[in-house]
Structure 1
Amino acid sequence: MNLEVIRRNRWAKRGVWAASAVLALWLVGWVAVPPLVKSQMIKAAREQLGRQVSIGAVDFRPWTLEVTVSDVAVLSQDGSTEQLRIKRIYIDAELESLLRLAPVVNAVSIDEPVVKLTHLGGGRYDIDDILVRLSQPSARPAQDPARFALYNLAVSGGSLDFIDKAVGKTQRVRDLNLSLPFLSNLDSQREVKVEPRLALTVNGSRFDSAAAATPFTRSRKTDASLKFSKFDLRPFLGYVPAAIPVKVQSALLDIDLKLAFEQSPRLAVKISGIVQAGGVKVTDLQGRDLLAFDSVRLALDDLRPFERMVRLSDVQLVGPHVELSRDQSGRLNLSGLEPASREPAASMPGKGAPVKTQASDAWKVTLAKLAVRGGSVKWSDATTSPKADMTLRELVVDASGLALPMAQPMLFNGLATLDGKQPGRLGFGGSATDQAATATLTVTALPLTAAAPYLANFLHPSLSGSVSGELGVLWKTPDVPGHTQDLQLSVKQLSLDKLALSEGKAPLAAVQKIELADAVFDLPRRGATIGKLVISQPKVPVQRGDDRRWMFERWLKPALAGAPANAQPQSPWTLAIADMALSGGNVQFQDLSGSRPVNVDITALQVQAKNLSLDGKKASPLSVSARVAAGHADPGRLDFRGALALAPLTAVGQVNAVGLPLHAFEPYFGDALNIEILRADAGFKGRVRYAQSANGPVIRVIGDAALEDFKANSVPLQGSAAARGLQAPEELLSWRALSLRGLDVSMAPGTSTLVDVKETGLSDFFARIVISETGRINLQDVVKASVPAGTSSTMAATATSTATAVVASAATSTVTASATPPIISFGPVTLVNGKVRFSDRFVRPNYSADLSGLNGKLSAFASTPPQGTVQLADIELRGRAEGTASLEVLGKINPLAKPLALDIKGKVRDLELAPLSPYAIKYAGHGIERGKLSLDVAYVVKPDGQLTASNKLVLNQLSFGEPVAGAPTSLPVKLAVALLADRNGVIDIDLPVSGSLNDPQFSLGPVIFKVIVNLIVKAITAPFSLLAGAFGGGGDELSIVSFPPGTAVLEPEAQKGLDKVAKALADRPALRMTVNGTASLEVERDAVKRERLRQLVQAERRRENVIAGGTSTAVMGPGDAEYPALLKEVYRRADIKKPRNMIGMAKDIPPAEMEALLLANVAVTDDVVRELAVQRGVAVRDYLVSKQLPPERLFLGAAKAGPPEAKWSPSAELNLATQ
């Protein structure tokens, strides 16, 4: 029925025929099109590509316009391998294509395409032949772009192998999937968005993307998304251009970006999204590490490259590791990353296009937030020796508000740990622009050993310790061009703990802690202010070696060779410290630069200062206290409370010093001395002031000074000094205490130094006085410089001058020599319990004596008295000599007076003389067996230098021994003693001396010594002069008894002299006398004749007296009236030749002629003269016997009748000797 209907209906018939035609057409197309298409496709492909192309099968379904092409293959150029293989190509066309006269494809599917691409090197690829063919210009004229509409384009399961023979790597793309839902340029569909999608796996990393675009509209607006996940960049690193100065060793890239593109009205590209990289490692071209991080994440809010604008909301770096280094030449590893300097290429702007300025080309970058977590920075520096290596770990940084250009300050903060055995922590924060910045830095237990390699450029020893604190930095560009920029470093609080300098394992210096607070350092202006500085327990050696270099000179290295020779001079730094404190200090001072080392330990050092500044114009309160020790003695104490100014240097304050070891500093001034100071503890309590002026220092010292426990030894002398000085060290000077109370010292340039001491005390002192083998006193060589020194004549005077010299030396030691002599005044001086040990090595055997128990006082005296006249001080000194003899010195003296003036009396009582036997042996040749000495001396020295001295010695029971064999001299000391001693054995000698001290030839000691020696010598030369005191005058003349010529009769004058001699001999029973009569024939010839005539006349008188009945003994000499008669009788009786008369009888002649004849006939021979000499001796002896002198002490010596000496007169000689 249905067929019938069709037959009857014309339109139905037509429909059937039409359907049949279509079916026939479909059938023809289904059967004929596939082989036709296959052959044409192979032909066209071969023509276009120039390669062998094969197609497995073609399936065409005309009823649906679907075409399927299977197993498409394109061989390589040599035909050995497949270049391209596509498993299936499916195309679903629409009948709408007929209506639109343009291809309208509903779907295109390409399944499992496989591409192999080979890079042959040198920029050549195995598809270069295809590219060359495709690049040939078409012979057909240019036409409008073909119109089409494409829906549902899909590529699935694709793969690509990129074989790069140049780098030896193969890149593999798998699971390539591309979907393009719609793409059309038909007019009706240009505004329809195209949303393609691409996904693939590259070397195992997944990539995905999506987009929405209208590519055929005028604006070509496109929105796209791009995603990478764990995209490994390593396989592609070989394609990085060699000009890039770094190598990326590894990186995994994650990208999730959105891109918006629009060409109208102007080209605009906007990118946003997330870019993240992980496992990044970058090295330099030599393979050295530069940068690595675990991950970096950039959150792009807006990136517009054509507008040069970037806005990031967040940047996160996790585990960044930065390797920074500097080689030996000082070149940073990052410096190689800088692009080569070149001029920018000139752009060719279009006609009429404005030339862009540099400002318009500048990028604008904003970053809302930056975060760094777990970072590290490693620094290596080969410019130091040893090489510097340090690492910052656990780096955390947060920043916000970053922008370029910086319109607003960015804020930042962070933390880090400095790696090491004792890790240190750092924290920082602040804000900054390109014009100003403020920052704070917090450090906690940061080890200073990290800076050791850099300090090694300047320091030989190594520095250890740690630093903690909070610091700030302020930087600001100048508001006015050309002005200095501001750069300030502030320290809120800084602590340096356990600082130590060491050389190897040997410690050099240490500080327990240094604290700094409220400090500001203005670097451009070179100024610093410190609110508080505290130094705790510093232990510092202050040393100077035998090369005269201080320890810091040895610690510091010489300036680097590259340092500029002539640096630009800069203004000095200014420094102000509001509060400074040092506690628990320990300083070991050692100086080896001198002949002897100086070692002083300063402990418990405390320093307090306020408002201290380097310019020092204003005095700053200062207090210093310490304990000072040297050797094993207890340390002394030093305390200062006052003020200090540095410009000019001024110090004023109260000083309290007790027991300071002055002896430790003896090597500094000991070279001027020939003594070794073993101990000297100095003390002072009072006020001092020191001010430096242009002309010199101004000094004022007021207080009480002391020098206690002083001990000094002599030292062996060298060279010529040794020949006359001390040879072996021995104790020289010592005392328990020397106190100067009320000391006032004033010094100023151009004026005399003033020294005033109210009261001085010296107790328990000792002095060693030695006369050397050359006769020089040891105290003369105490000072090496040639200093005039007087010596006292007695041990008492020596003790007094020694004590006074000690006091004066202590006072004048504080005075600096000036052009004008100092004015020194002393109040009362007290000496307590002194001792002097005296030794004389000049004599053999040596002699020693001790003065002990010396106590005394000296009243006030001055070098320049106010009245202008010499002011003598009362001196009183008492003690004992050799423990038995008393010693006393009284009088007036001024040790400082110039010229010297004094009036002193000294007494020594009952000094045992036996210890002085060495002197007696040396100078007299006899030792002293016993005896005592009492001495009274008096010295008066006038200001004009005139000396009047009185020396009264009383020797009691002095007894000398026998002559000593080999003694230098032998004097008749026994005779001298016998001459000088009275009947009680006492010798009383008075030795007055006078002279002028201004006479360089005058010296008191030698004068007194000469007088004493002369006394002894006179025992031989003029013994009677020693009896002058007993004679009541006279002296040597009493040793001669005069006689009238020719006689042996003592005249009254001669008897008087013999009376004196008799008395002296009676008082000196140890003496005996020898009388020697003298006569001379030549001189006394006539006198003997007259004496013979006188005797004849006298005999005639006695004869007549006897005849008259008288006696012969009572006859007196004849008178003038009797003489002529007696002469005539003698003449008559004389048997001589006489004048006679005519009868031969003797004529009477005048008395004168009778005398002449008688005298002419007296015979005078030598025997007569000798007999006369004997008679004269007898006459003297008999006279002395008549004065009750024992005859056994009187002897007649041989008569002397020889030729007379000049100025001889008739006499008898008296000679004394001991019994």
Structure 2
Amino acid sequence: MKNKWLKRALRAVLVLAGLVLLYAALGFLALPALIKSQAQQKAADILHRQLTIEKVELNPFTLALTVHGLKMMEPQGDAVFASFDRLAVDLSGQSLLRLAPVVQEVRLSKPYVHLVRKDANHYSIDDIIELIASQPPSPEPARFSVNNIQIEEGGIAFEDKPAGSSHKIEGLKLGIPFVSSMPTDVQLFVEPLFSAVVNGAPLHLNGKLRPFADTKEVVFELKLDNLDVPRYLAYLPTKLAFRMPSGRLDAQLHASFRQPKEGGPALVLGGEAKAQSVELTQADGKPALKAKELVAKLGKIDVFGGRFDFESLIVDGLEANVVSDGKGQLNVARMFAPEQPQPLAPASTKVPAKAEKNSSGSHYALKTLEFRNTTLRYTHEAPHEPMRVAVDKFALALRDIAVETGKQTVSIGEIVSDSAGIDVNFDKPRAAAPAPQPKSAAPKDEGSYVLTIARLGIDNWTTRLVDNAHAKPLQIAVAPLSLDLQDISTAPGSRIKVDLKTTVNNDGRLALNGSFVLAPFSTELAVEVKDLGILPLQPYVTDYVNLRLVHADVSTKGKLLLETGSDGAMKGGFKGDASVTNLATVDKASSNDFLRWKALTFGGVDVRLQPFALNIDKVGLSDFFARIIIDPSGRINVQDIMRDKDGEAKSLTEADPSSHTKAKANAPKTPAVAEAKPVRKEAAQPLPPVRVGKLVLSGGRVRFTDNFIKPNYTANLNDLGGTVSGLSSDANSSANVDLRGVVNNAPLVIGGRVNPLKRDLSLDVKAEVRGIELASLSAYSDKYVGYGIEKGKMSFEVGYNIENRQLKSSNRLILEQLTFGRENSNPDVTKLPVGLAVALLSDRNGVIDINVPIGGSIDDPEFSIGGIILKIIGNAIVKTVTAPFTLISSLFGGGSAEELSMLAFDPGRAQIPAAGEEKLKPLARALGERPGLKLEITGRYDPAMDMEALKLLSIDRKLRALKAKDMQARGEVLPDSVTVKAEERLALLTRAYKEEKFDKPRNALGLQKSLPQAEMERLMLSHTKVEEEDLVALGNRRAQAAKDWLTKTGQVPAERLFIVAAKAVQKDAGGEKAQSTRVDFSLR
């Protein structure tokens, strides 16, 4: 019995051993070969690719499968499609207990996949994708559990033939603890780990997820280093309107996604990203945007909750090239404009699940936004207004930015900038401005956002403005600029605080402090402007005036209060002080001084708008000069400051030789008598209230020339000063006048009352002048009396009263030592009985004292204050002759009588030479020792020598004017006397020669010849005209120079010196050795 059992047991063991051996044989030997052959056959049949496997190992006892050296070729067999070195799969025995595959470990070593993009929509694995997509779905989710999944040293090669590029993923490593759909495992987190080097950029990804639970959750972290972004832009679903030559990305991001079975999903993002060497160009390759580095730090981004909180965004080294075309479209806007939407297919009626939307709107917040080392370039290419703007070294920081879409608010805690260099260039328009287009109807206001900024601060800004639209570009530099704005808001009625300080063109200071409201507009500002030069603004007015501004500074300090009334009109006004200092203007044609002053001040200014009113406590004008000229037609030069409509340029300080002829030609002929039609006068509107408390003048000088008469007359009004108090537009008021000055070295006093601000002038003044030299008035005497004046002095006391446009005047004239010259041979000139008048009017001392009342209407077209005075002079003809006395030499020595009776001058000049001063010293001593002596001074001129010298001096004057013009163009300060150096003369002479109007020698081609310096001077001399009156004026200046020396250096009282009208030298006068260009002295 026992043996029988043993036999059965032995048989069972042998069968079991056989089965084990059979199992082992199948597992170790048969199955690996079968798996290898079937795999290779299936790959050929299904995938149409050749598959080779070096070896398959199977341990039937440990359920471990290992595959070595798998390689699958492309369908054409010319390249490897996929391969790996080793695949190890360890199946767990729990698979039998759970009735589902349970894998303990999967390890894949050195896997490799080669993918090819053949064209825009086809890849080398299209057939595999179609095969997978064609498989029917499983009726229910598969049950499985795969643990310890590991991929090591993987690689992917992607070849993009349309783009002509290739990509490599190397060092791919994937670790997944487990993936399970078992009910007991679905609530556990899977924590995968992934890393690779993508085109040389390390990529790390790890996290945890529950993909099969009812509430799906994913949490992962992504780390990306040095990713070359441009390589992947071609794979975006939309076509880009820009190029990206460079850009590298580093990122360390984390995300959390949760999708419950019921309700909406939640996605929360965070982390940090950094982009470096970013460059974007337009589609044609033109530069647009470039940045050294962009760093973004995310706070908590709740995508579906509508809250986007960012920590910071820092942009370093931004370079932007923004271009606006003629239609106002920006290149950067076109670069990022979305593609036109394509027609959509009919939408399904099934609505997909959506995230729960925040009904209160979205919230966006950014704690810090910074731009560092920024460079901006803006070009406006509109042909009618081309402009270029460059901003360098720009730094800007915005803090605490928040946007609430539900409330429609944008708030910024602070905007600060501590550096910027801004250049603005306006170029010459290349076309006329287009006609304005009709404005389209404004869209319906659907509600606008309210912007609030707690503070905006700007420091150390430098701005340069250049306007090249004019012949001489305008240039304005504003640096440094500091601006502080607080409580900024676009909400109606919000008051914004402002504090602005800057310097303009190195010298001007501008400061604003106060507040303003944007809507409705109003201001409360303290304004301070100091020494702000207005010369840079000259290009805007130079085409409309005949003068050139050399220098002028504007200053003001006060309060500016403005507000918009309910009718839209601006109300308010300005209270404070203002001034225009160091003003200097010159005649644009000749570069001669025209108008200048040291200071024009306005103190206690109060200007009111709506209705207009002006009150000024004090106006001061100091150290001023004006050049007043009457041309041959009787027109005053100040009338020509503004150019005519035809834009014809005119000189303000030099006479136009043709103006007298033109005046005669344009004079209206005597019209036929016609019945005058009554003129209907409209009711005069009341003047706005204007009051000036006091006008103070000091240090004034006026040079007056009358070219209306022949020969010309010039007078100098010096040391003009005084006050005008109580000016007002009130019809019942009048101002007190107290003015003093010197006319041609004679004292002038003006006093009385006047109201020039009334519509009808009101005047009651008296004027007094003592000791005017009458020789300078010889031209007027010749015209109105018929005789020129050899010598004489005039004093007068005049009183003028104008009321209701009627003039009443009293005039007292005192004439001393009056001596007349030759009779005017012109038959049209009135001849007064000079001899009889002198005999009747002279007292025993030879003094004429007369009173002449004058009356008339200032509406008379022949009315002229100047003409009235001249008629008085004509009616007060006086002649007093004193006995002659002997020459100085007979009394005090110092040379022969012939030598002391004259003072020699250089031809063409009126400056006393050094040797001449030695001759004047004994003459001055004699006059000092003999108070009763009076001296006559007669200027002489040589028509031949002086005329030639004046021509040479005329050329020299033109050269100095050109040099002065060049110095002004360079912004240099003109000296009292401009000197032309020898090395400068040829260049200046060439320019002066070219500007001459006479016909110049030309070559065979008709071009103007280049001439040597001597030839140019000869031609200019031959075409330079010197008139008789120029010679007379030269003689008078010589006499005045001698008198000035005797009064100032020789201390001789001016009332004892008399200037005799200049004469041409007589060749037999003074002997053969006497110089013809001289001054003759005679004692009386």
Q: TM-score normalized by structure 1?
A: 0.54
- Whether the aligned pair in 2 keeps the contact of 1:96 and 1:104 (CA below 8 Å) is yes
Name the Cα RMSD after superposition: 5.2
Tell me the residue number matched to 1:496.
Answer: 503
Asked if 1:839 corresponds to 2:788, the answer is no
In the aligned structure 1, how far is the partner of 2:119 from the partner of 2:167? 15
2:596 to 594, 598, 601: 601
- Whether the aligned pair in 2 keeps the contact of 1:533 and 1:581 (CA below 8 Å) is no
Letter in 2 for 1:896: I
Tell me the residue number matched to 2:958.
Answer: none
- Whether the aligned pair in 1 keeps the contact of 2:842 and 2:848 (CA below 8 Å) is yes
In the aligned structure 1, how far is the partner of 2:365 from the partner of 2:826? 108
- Whether the aligned pair in 2 keeps the contact of 1:528 and 1:573 (CA below 8 Å) is no
Q: Point out the more displaced range, 41-50 or 298-307.
A: 298-307
- Whether the aligned pair in 2 keeps the contact of 1:489 and 1:520 (CA below 8 Å) is yes
Asked if 1:703 corresponds to 2:710, the answer is no
Cα 1:401/1:685, change in 2 over 3 Å: closer
Residue by residue over 1:467-520, the C-alpha shift from the partner in whole angstroms, topping out at 9 and shown as x without a partner, is 3343345787776xxxxx568776524233336xxxxxxxxxxxx313323255
Cα offset, 1:626, TM superposition: 1.9
In the aligned structure 1, how far is the partner of 2:596 from the partner of 2:532? 14
Tell me the residue number matched to 2:901.
Answer: none
Tell me the residue number matched to 1:896.
Answer: 854
- Aligned positions of 1:431-470 closer than 5 A: 434-444=450-460, 446-447=462-463, 449=464, 451-452=465-466, 455-456=467-468, 461-470=473-482
Cα offset, 1:628, TM superposition: 1.3
In the aligned structure 1, how far is the partner of 2:619 from the partner of 2:779? 50
Tell me the residue number matched to 1:983.
Answer: none
- Whether the aligned pair in 1 keeps the contact of 2:580 and 2:600 (CA below 8 Å) is yes
Cα 1:436/1:161, change in 2 over 3 Å: same
Asked if 1:778 corresponds to 2:771, the answer is no
Asked if 1:171 corresponds to 2:167, the answer is yes
- Whether the aligned pair in 2 keeps the contact of 1:574 and 1:613 (CA below 8 Å) is yes
In the aligned structure 2, how far is the partner of 1:607 from the partner of 1:9? 140
Question: Percent of counterpart pairs with the same letter?
Answer: 17
Asked if 1:821 corresponds to 2:816, the answer is no
Tell me the residue number matched to 1:678.
Answer: 715
Tell me the residue number matched to 1:638.
Answer: none
- Whether the aligned pair in 1 keeps the contact of 2:381 and 2:387 (CA below 8 Å) is yes
Residue by residue over 1:956-1003, the C-alpha shift from the partner in whole angstroms, topping out at 9 and shown as x without a partner, is xxxxxxxxxxxxxxxxxxxxxxxxxxxxxxxxxxxxxxxxxxxxxxxx
Cα 1:393/1:121, change in 2 over 3 Å: same
Tell me the residue number matched to 1:533.
Answer: 528
Tell me the residue number matched to 1:1204.
Answer: none
Tell me the residue number matched to 2:746.
Answer: 736
1:661 to 686, 701, 707: 701
- Whether the aligned pair in 2 keeps the contact of 1:657 and 1:682 (CA below 8 Å) is no
Letter in 1 for 2:818: K
SS of 1:38 mapped into structure 2:
helix
Residue by residue over 1:926-977, the C-alpha shift from the partner in whole angstroms, topping out at 9 and shown as x without a partner, is xxxxxxxxxxxxxxxxxxxxxxxxxxxxxxxxxxxxxxxxxxxxxxxxxxxx
In the aligned structure 2, how far is the partner of 1:661 from the partner of 1:5? 158
In the aligned structure 2, how far is the partner of 1:60 from the partner of 1:543? 96
Tell me the residue number matched to 1:366.
Answer: 365
2:209 to 207, 213, 223: 213
Tell me the residue number matched to 1:150.
Answer: 146
Q: Point out the more displaced range, 91-100 or 346-355.
A: 346-355
Asked if 1:585 corresponds to 2:593, the answer is no
2:24 to 2, 26, 36: 26
Q: Point out the more displaced range, 319-328 or 50-59.
A: 319-328
SS of 1:25 mapped into structure 2:
helix
Tell me the residue number matched to 2:233.
Answer: 237
SS of 1:654 mapped into structure 2:
strand
1:82 to 76, 80, 83: 80
Number of aligned positions between the proteins: 762
Cα offset, 1:456, TM superposition: 4.0
In the aligned structure 1, how far is the partner of 2:843 from the partner of 2:517? 73
In the aligned structure 1, how far is the partner of 2:51 from the partner of 2:118? 22
In the aligned structure 2, how far is the partner of 1:87 from the partner of 1:121? 31
Residue by residue over 1:666-706, the C-alpha shift from the partner in whole angstroms, topping out at 9 and shown as x without a partner, is 57xx659985233233735343444447xxx8883433444
Cα 1:708/1:63, change in 2 over 3 Å: same
Tell me the residue number matched to 2:665.
Answer: none
SS of 1:334 mapped into structure 2:
helix
Letter in 2 for 1:250: S
- Whether the aligned pair in 2 keeps the contact of 1:682 and 1:705 (CA below 8 Å) is no
In the aligned structure 1, how far is the partner of 2:771 from the partner of 2:186? 126
In the aligned structure 1, how far is the partner of 2:878 from the partner of 2:120? 128
- Aligned positions of 1:239-258 closer than 5 A: 239-241=235-237, 243-258=239-254
- Aligned positions of 1:552-701 closer than 5 A: 576-582=573-579, 584-588=581-585, 590=587, 599-613=594-608, 617=613, 619-629=615-625, 648=688, 650-658=690-698, 660-664=700-704, 666=705, 671=708, 675-681=712-718, 683-692=720-729, 700-701=734-735
- Whether the aligned pair in 2 keeps the contact of 1:151 and 1:182 (CA below 8 Å) is yes
Tell me the residue number matched to 2:391.
Answer: 391
In the aligned structure 1, how far is the partner of 2:193 from the partner of 2:62? 27
- Whether the aligned pair in 2 keeps the contact of 1:197 and 1:211 (CA below 8 Å) is yes
Cα 1:586/1:478, change in 2 over 3 Å: closer
| Structure 2 segments unaligned to the other structure (5+ residues) | 425-447, 552-566, 629-685, 858-870, 884-1084
Residue by residue over 1:246-297, the C-alpha shift from the partner in whole angstroms, topping out at 9 and shown as x without a partner, is 3333222222222322221333333332233222222222223333333333
SS of 1:144 mapped into structure 2:
coil
Residue by residue over 1:1080-1113, the C-alpha shift from the partner in whole angstroms, topping out at 9 and shown as x without a partner, is xxxxxxxxxxxxxxxxxxxxxxxxxxxxxxxxxx
- Whether the aligned pair in 1 keeps the contact of 2:307 and 2:363 (CA below 8 Å) is yes
Letter in 2 for 1:104: V
Q: Which has the larger radius of gyration?
A: 1
Letter in 2 for 1:603: K
Letter in 2 for 1:663: R
Cα offset, 1:23, TM superposition: 4.5
Task: Between the two structures, name the one with larger relative contact order (CA 8 Å, sep ≥ 6).
Answer: 2
- Whether the aligned pair in 1 keeps the contact of 2:786 and 2:832 (CA below 8 Å) is no
In the aligned structure 2, how far is the partner of 1:622 from the partner of 1:689? 10
SS of 2:169 mapped into structure 1:
strand
Letter in 1 for 2:52: S
Cα offset, 1:906, TM superposition: 13
Letter in 1 for 2:473: P
In the aligned structure 1, how far is the partner of 2:239 from the partner of 2:483? 43
Cα offset, 1:908, TM superposition: 9.8
- Whether the aligned pair in 2 keeps the contact of 1:600 and 1:629 (CA below 8 Å) is yes
Cα 1:411/1:781, change in 2 over 3 Å: farther
- Whether the aligned pair in 1 keeps the contact of 2:622 and 2:698 (CA below 8 Å) is no
Asked if 1:185 corresponds to 2:181, the answer is yes
- Whether the aligned pair in 1 keeps the contact of 2:818 and 2:879 (CA below 8 Å) is no
SS of 1:187 mapped into structure 2:
coil
Cα 1:673/1:356, change in 2 over 3 Å: farther
In the aligned structure 1, how far is the partner of 2:363 from the partner of 2:855? 95
In the aligned structure 1, how far is the partner of 2:143 from the partner of 2:881? 157
Letter in 2 for 1:367: L
Cα 1:413/1:819, change in 2 over 3 Å: closer
Cα offset, 1:619, TM superposition: 1.9
In the aligned structure 2, how far is the partner of 1:46 from the partner of 1:833? 140
- Whether the aligned pair in 1 keeps the contact of 2:251 and 2:274 (CA below 8 Å) is yes
- Whether the aligned pair in 2 keeps the contact of 1:878 and 1:889 (CA below 8 Å) is yes
- Whether the aligned pair in 2 keeps the contact of 1:654 and 1:685 (CA below 8 Å) is no
Tell me the residue number matched to 2:955.
Answer: none
Tell me the residue number matched to 1:944.
Answer: none
SS of 1:409 mapped into structure 2:
strand
